[in-house]
Amino acid sequence: MSTFSLEVKSLVKYFPTGASGLLGRPTKEVKAVDNVSLQIADGKTLGVVGESGCGKSTLARVVTRLIDPTSGQVFLDGQDITSLRGQELRIARRKMQMIFQDPYASLNPRHSVGQIISAPLRVQGIEPVHGVKTRVQELMELVGLNPEHYNRYPHEFSGGQRQRIGIARALILEPKLLVADEPVSALDVSIQAQILNLLENLQTELGLTYMFIAHDLSVVRHIADDVAVMYLGKIVETGPSGSVYSFPRHPYTTALLSAVPVADPTRRGRSGRIRLVGDVPSPVDPPSGCRFRTRCWKATDLCAQVEPPLEAVSEGHFVACHHPMDPVSN
């Protein structure tokens, strides 16, 4: 019996692209997610980080079945939800919900807050014991909104408040797993902190499991128990946050961490700064072998020929690299 809230096995998602030929059939594929496997234990938070084009958003959408995978499997609480359809899928969705990035685009401007938050109940055909309104207001209080604003419209709220509405909507079905796709990126720094604290409190209170997608490494450092670093559709490093952040073993992770501007001027110009050269290769035609090799200063012929598998370098800490970095503190 699995104690994993979420388990993903060899997940692949390719998008057809590039019309050519007389009939305009797609000839190429964007290999957005290429053989990704991960697990999230009950009540834990997995942070998924990477830059644009790494596939993390696609991963989030495939995991929540908003998009169908090309191949691979997704297990929610031990149940294989990969090929569920119709009513079965709808019932499975009660256990997993999603929070989106843009607080302005993810709420229907024509619906009142009450309608937005209660919509999942209607979709699922669930009638709460004390009525819809009471339940909605319970949630509004839980996320820090004034329950009296039940009838107001999204435009009357600030960005941070709208994100709270989105969170309330995600929680109303009492899900186990919450997939958050860059939930604080569109918010001001002072508001980000509020929302992150809220998410942490909710996790403790409600026993939630989080899959937290972000590009902001410091945000993920703060909220995630474990972290997975993605590059061009693959996970290149994964492990407990403390381990990965303090002792990164994959060259890309090291470069990524050293690129983050640190809010401490005394550390300016420190040595050990890595500057990656060039651009991320196209996900349509990724490099052979290790995908990072075109920008990696440690690349050898082996890297071009053989794709490195994820291997353990310490307890729970895995790296996909033929020449992992030495475990020197970052």
Partner 1 sequence: MTTPLLSVENLNVSFATPDGVVRAVTDVSFRINTGETLGIVGESGSGKSVTASSLLRLNNSVTASTSGKVLFDGTDVLTVDEDEMRRIRGQDIAMVFQDPLSALNPFYTVGEQISEAYLVHHPKASKSDVRTRVLEMLEKVGIPNPSKRIDEYPHEFSGGMRQRIVIAIALINSPRLLIADEPTTALDVTVQAQILDLMKDLQQETGMAIILITHDLGVVAEVADSALVMYGGRVVERADVMSIFSVPTHPYSWGLLGAVGSLDTSTRGHLATIPGTPPSLISLPNGCAFRPRCSHQEGVESKCANNVPVLRPIEGTSSESACHLADHQLVSIGQRSSRS
Partner 2 sequence: MLLFITRRLLFALMLLLAVSLFTYLLFSILPADPAALTCGKNCKPEIIAANRVRLGYDKPILEQYWNFLKGIFVGRDYGTGAAAFSCPAPSLGYSFSQHECVTTLIARTFPVTAYLSIGALIMWMSLGVGLGSIAALKKGKWQDKAATTFSAIGVSLPTFYIGLLVLFSFCIWLRILPFPKYESPFVNPGAFFTTMILPWSTLAVLSAASYTRLTRNGMLEAMNEDFVRLGIAKGLQRRTILRKYVLRSALVPIVTIAGLDFAALLGGAIITESVFSLPGMGRMSIRAVVESDLPVLVGTTMVAAVFIVLANVIVDILYGVLDPRVRAK
If the CB atoms of residues 76 and 184 are measured against partner 1, the closer one turns out to be 184
| Structural contact between residues 221 and 245, judged by C-beta atoms closer than 8 angstroms | yes
If the CB atoms of residues 27 and 246 are measured against partner 2, the closer one turns out to be 27
Binders of partner 1 among 187-226, rule CB under 8 A?
A: 188-194, 196-197, 200, 215-219, 221-223, 225
Q: How far is the CB of 324 from partner 1 (least distance, A)?
A: 19
Q: How far is the CB of 290 from partner 1 (least distance, A)?
A: 17
Give all strands (DSSP E) within 157-233, no chain letters: 177-181, 209-214, 226-231
| Structural contact between residues 176 and 206, judged by C-beta atoms closer than 8 angstroms | no
Q: How far is the CB of 158 from partner 1 (least distance, A)?
A: 5
By a kind-dependent CB cut-off of 5 to 8 A, residue 271 interacts, out of partner 1, partner 2, none, with: none
By a kind-dependent CB cut-off of 5 to 8 A, residue 223 interacts, out of partner 1, partner 2, none, with: partner 1
If the CB atoms of residues 18 and 109 are measured against partner 2, the closer one turns out to be 18
**3-state helix/strand/coil string of 259-275:** HCCCCCHHHCCCCCCCC
If the CB atoms of residues 162 and 169 are measured against partner 1, the closer one turns out to be 162
Q: Any residues with CB less than 8 A from the CB of 216 and at least 6 apart, and which?
A: 184, 185
Nearest-angstrom CA–CA distance, 246 and 257: 10
Instruction: Write each residue from 15 to 34 as x if it is in contact with partner 2 (CB under 8 A), else as -, in one continuous string.
Output: ----xxxxxx----------
Give me the residues paired with residue 73 across strands.
9
Q: Is the dihedral of CA 94, 240, 251, 193 positive or negative?
A: positive
By a kind-dependent CB cut-off of 5 to 8 A, residue 300 interacts, out of partner 1, partner 2, none, with: none
Binders of partner 2 among 147-166, rule CB under 8 A?
A: none
Most distant CA atoms of the chain, gap in Å: 66
Q: How far is the CB of 21 from partner 2 (least distance, A)?
A: 8
Q: Does 256 bind partner 1 (CB under 8 A)?
A: yes
Q: Which stretch binds partner 1 (CB under 8 A): 103-111, 157-165, 169-177, 311-319?
A: 157-165
Binders of partner 1 among 12-51, rule CB under 8 A?
A: 51
Tokens 């609480």 identify what position? Answer: 77
Q: Does 105 bind partner 1 (CB under 8 A)?
A: no
Nearest-angstrom CA–CA distance, 294 and 176: 40
Q: Any residues with CB less than 8 A from the CB of 246 and at least 6 apart, and which?
A: 329, 330
By a kind-dependent CB cut-off of 5 to 8 A, residue 162 interacts, out of partner 1, partner 2, none, with: none
By a kind-dependent CB cut-off of 5 to 8 A, residue 20 interacts, out of partner 2, partner 1, none, with: partner 2
Nearest-angstrom CA–CA distance, 51 and 310: 20
The single residue among 87, 151, 266, 271 that binds partner 1, judged by CB under 8 A, is 266
- Find the radius of gyration of the CA atoms of the chain: 21
| Structural contact between residues 54 and 232, judged by C-beta atoms closer than 8 angstroms | yes
Give all strands (DSSP E) within the chain, no chain letters: 4-20, 25-41, 45-49, 71-76, 79-80, 96-99, 177-181, 209-214, 226-231, 234-240, 311-314, 317-319
The single residue among 67, 206, 276, 284 that binds partner 1, judged by CB under 8 A, is 276
By a kind-dependent CB cut-off of 5 to 8 A, residue 22 interacts, out of partner 2, partner 1, none, with: partner 2
- Between CA 81 and CA 90, with CA 87 as vertex, the angle to 5 degrees is 60
If the CB atoms of residues 19 and 91 are measured against partner 2, the closer one turns out to be 19
Binding site for partner 2 (CB under 8 A): 19-24
Q: Residues in the site for partner 1, rule: CB under 8 A? A: 51-52, 158, 160-161, 188-194, 196-197, 200, 215-219, 221-223, 225, 242, 245-246, 255-268, 275-276, 278-280, 330
